[in-house]
Amino acid sequence: MSMERDGDQKSLGKEVSDLLSIQTQKVQHLSRDLARSYEKELRFFENLEQRDRQLRNQERQYLKKIWWLESERRRLLEENEQLRNRSSQGGANARVAIHRARRWAWHARKAVRAWR
């Protein structure tokens, strides 16, 4: 009877050992899956943050462009007003100056379009 008991205990011990081995493998597999999932999630959020930074930078560039265009527009309007005042006082020189200002404005618009 003692031998049967020893055999049963050995068999039970082997079963428990096998079960623990299987459970350990499952835990390791799940741990690897969890780590991979966590890494994917981190990459996803890093990509989101990078995209947000790029969008903020692009928005800043557009705002700078708009501010520059508005300042140039104001400057050109002031120049045109001054040229009109001069042209009303007479002369072909004023018409040439107006033509130059308009040509400069056209080049500025062309440069802005190329900037996009």
What end-to-end distance do the CA atoms of the chain give, in Å? 92
The structural domains of the chain, with segments of one domain joined by +, span 2-115
Q: What is the pLDDT of residue 116?
A: 61
Say what the pTM is.
0.49
Please state, in angstroms and rounded to a whole number, the distance separating the CA atoms of residues 113 and 4. Answer: 93
Q: Splitting the chain (116 residues) into consecutive groups of 10 residues, what average pLDDT does each group show?
A: 65 89 96 96 97 96 93 90 75 72 83 73
Asked if residue 83 lies in contact with residue 97, where contact means CB atoms within 8 angstroms, the answer is yes
